[in-house]
Amino acid sequence: MYKSFLIKYGEIAIKGKNRYLFEEALVRQIRYALHPVEGEFEVRRLQGRIYVDALSDYSYDEVMEALSRVFGIVGICPVVLVEDEGFARLSEDVIAYLDQAYPDKNVTFKVNARRARKNYPMDSMELNAALGEKILDAFPQMRVDVHNPDIRLCVEIRESINIYSKEIKGPGGMPVGTGGKAMLLLSGGIDSPVAGYMVAKRGVAVDAVYFHAPPYTSERAKRKVVELAEILSRYAGPVRLHIVNFTDIQLSIYEKCPHGELTIIMRRYMMRIAEKFARQDQCLGLVTGESIGQVASQTMQSLAATNAVCSMPVYRPLIGFDKQEIIAISERIKAYETSILPYEDCCTIFVAKHPVTKPNLSVIERSEEKLRDTMDEMVATAIATAETIYVTADGTTE
């Protein structure tokens, strides 16, 4: 029954020039989210509002699904738009709307008329009263309740008249792209896709880097990460994913450094390389899925040791989350099923039986000295030979 949707967004902090950028980004992200949905849609800005118009048949549920992934949307109102052809016609349209939208007439309502265009002959109070009366005439079972109505019927007199009464909650947050870009360290686990989702929710676009260690890690493990990037890109927009061959670096750490320190040193090299890609891609920070105390490499001491190699800010949006809380988000964003596929990741192969949990930075730095002669070149090779793919909600291109 609906051909249009009125998109509501939070208007705090979007004054002046910011408002324009916010709306532009929101329109772009709505188009992106609707692209895989069957049907033809137009997204337009009109007088400080955003509308989605369906130009063909479509599935209501699919559109809602798609819009529920667009950060910045606070509410989605299925709306009936009618031309101004006088009050008699308007009251007919309103009655037809209610009749269709509410098969059960045993409900209370309140009319919330608003005159955004002052040349309309009736003011809001008059409209409320006159429409209320017409509705009661048409549906005697309905009753008015001005304090706590079942139906809050909005009738807004604009260029065309907007009739709506339902608002489906949007995801909130900020439109992706309004907050710059970050480089996510994306592994095949549960945490890092959720971390990417969290920064995207605050308007940050995401590129990603994945370290694999063929032949110790399989092609399937890599495909799983690509799939996770695809899932992330439904929310975060296109993701440029760099796939780095980490085998030589890892073997050399394994060979030359104390095994208890393997994970920390490996993580430090991941951060160094991720930061190089971050600068290349104009990112303003790194993002990881770390959470305090989750594993040995995520104690405060370990995080300090990992952090010490970065000059960019490192964002850890899951820092205070328990695993169960992270899993709940992972399930909600539909990443969980993919994340728990049992393929090995590159860290699990080279893990020590007794990793240090309180690494001392100078001890770690001394261990890394042993890598000094060969590592610069290995890092340069890893970066030069990385495979970069462009991942979108529609699929992947090289």
| HSE (side-chain half, CA atoms, 13 Å) at 217 | 28
Nearer to ligand ATP, 165 or 338 (CB): 338
Closest CA to 93 of 105, 81, 104, 77: 81
* Residues 56, 45: Cα–Cα separation, whole Å: 20
| Options 6-14, 127-135, 185-193, 252-260: segment touching ligand ATP (CB under 6 A) | 185-193
Binding mask 177-196 for Mg ion (x = CB under 5 A): ----------x-x-------
Among 345, 367, 368, 379, binds ligand ATP (CB under 6 A): 345
Residue 245 binding ligand ATP, by CB under 6 A: no
Residue 246: C-alpha distances to residues 108, 207, 382, 391 (Å): 64, 18, 7, 21
**Residue of 14, 77, 98, 185 that binds ligand ATP (CB under 6 A):** 185
The Cα–Cα gap between 72 and 22 comes to 8
CA distance 26 to 11: 12
Quote the CA–CA distance of 317 and 328 in Å, as a whole number.
15
Q: Residue 200 or residue 347: which is nearer to Mg ion going by CB?
A: 347
- In angstroms, the CA 322 to CA 7 distance is 34
In the complex with Mg ion, which residue's Cβ is closer, 76 or 333? Answer: 333
Decide whether 107 or 312 has the Cβ nearer to ligand ATP. 312
Q: What does 289 bind: Mg ion, ligand ATP, none (CB cut-off 5 to 8 Å by kind)?
A: ligand ATP
Residue for token pair 């009251």: 91
Choice between 149 and 196, CB closer to ligand ATP: 196
263 binds Mg ion (CB under 5 A): no
Can you tell me whether residue 294 is helix, strand or coil? coil
DSSP H or E segment with residue 397 = strand 395-397
Q: Pick from 43, 151, 157, 186 the residue near ligand ATP by CB under 6 A.
A: 186
Binding status of residue 247 toward Mg ion by CB under 5 A: no
The least CB distance from residue 363 to Mg ion, in Å, is: 24
Q: Which does 363 bind (CB under 5 to 8 A by kind): Mg ion, ligand ATP, none?
A: none
Interface with ligand ATP, residue 330, by CB under 6 A: no
Could you tell me the sign of the dihedral formed by the alpha carbons of 301, 306, 312, 314, in that order? negative
Interface pick for ligand ATP out of 23, 93, 156, 191 (rule CB under 6 A): 191
Amino acid, res. 201: K
Q: How far is the CB of 254 from ligand ATP (least distance, A)?
A: 15
Phi, psi of 211 (to 5 degrees): -105, 120
Cα 374 versus chain centre, distance: 40
290 touches ligand ATP by CB under 6 A: yes
Residues forming contacts to ligand ATP in the complex (CB under 6 A) are 185-187, 189-192, 209-211, 270, 288-290, 294-295, 297-298, 345-347
